[in-house]
Structure 1
Amino acid sequence: MDEVNLKIKERKMRTRRLIEMGGLVAKANLDHLPTNTLFGAIVSLKETLTQHPMFRIIGLQ
């Protein structure tokens, strides 16, 4: 039963995180954009950040 409870807790934590991310998109007034556009922008941002030396130091991958 502990394994089941752990999976439920992990799923709830993941769901909360996804809701928070959606909230950030809305706060940035980007929630009107198509999801594929948002995804492309996020991937592009990640690629840009991973090239920056400061983010390499803190371990962004």
Structure 2
Amino acid sequence: MWWIYLSVGLAAAGLLVLAVFAARVFGAVGELSAQVAASHRALAAASDRLQRAAAPVAGRAGEITRR
């Protein structure tokens, strides 16, 4: 009969370990999503700056090819 208590205790301990790991993974995913969002904002800002900087160059390139 003692083996039933042992197996239930081990199963509960295993579930507790899995819950701790799941909480750590959940926290890591939250941090990763924040980093991805920050990278997305930085890339969007860089893309906007690149488009604004490329507009005059593109206009001058059109003038060069027309001559």
Normalising by the smaller structure, the TM-score range is: 0.3 to 0.5
Tell me the TM-score normalised to structure 1 length. Answer: 0.46
More helix by share: 2
TM-score by length of 2: 0.42
